[in-house]
Amino acid sequence: RIHPTAVLDPGASIGPNVRVGPFAVIGPGVEVGAGASIGPHAVIERDTRLGERCVVGAGAVLGADPQDVRYRGEPTRLEIGRDTRIREYATLHRGTTATGRTIVGSCCYLMAYVHVAHDCVVEDGVVLANAVQLGGHVHVEAYANIGGLTPVHQFVRIGQHAFVGGG
């Protein structure tokens, strides 16, 4: 279930029945829950928890350093709940010292090219369509749906069950 070309750091924890595709990279401090699937060329850099049965698409990058000029390498995390699908080339960054973590809940669907910046909170059941871009410190409440190509400025809050039109 782990392709021979995948690179797994010895400090990573991989649950049972996990699939890891060709040329995927899993870094230190990463925890992958049981039954998860990580696509080819996906990168989970470090200090990331991926819940049970999550699916990560080809070329996605999870747990990268936050894009914040004040970040100086402090230990922070990315936490992703169970049954969340993250499609091709999505990018999800760890938090900064402001909150210490970026959180994506359970049963979310993040389509291709989505970006979730540092210190965001995406609650359970959220759908982010293709190329939605969340700036830092955005809070998306449960079951919200954001249409494709929508930029969300930093420090914005989107309410529970909201529907934001695409573009």
* Active-site annotation, residues: 118-119, 136
Phi, psi (degrees; rounded to nearest 5) at 61: -125, 115
Collapsed DSSP state (helix, strand, coil) of residue 151: strand
- What does the radius of gyration of the chain's CA atoms come to, in whole angstroms? 15
CA-CA-CA-CA dihedral for 9, 12, 18, 20, to nearest 10: -30
What is the maximum alpha-carbon separation in the chain?
A: 44
* CA proximity to 49, closest of 60, 39, 34, 59: 34
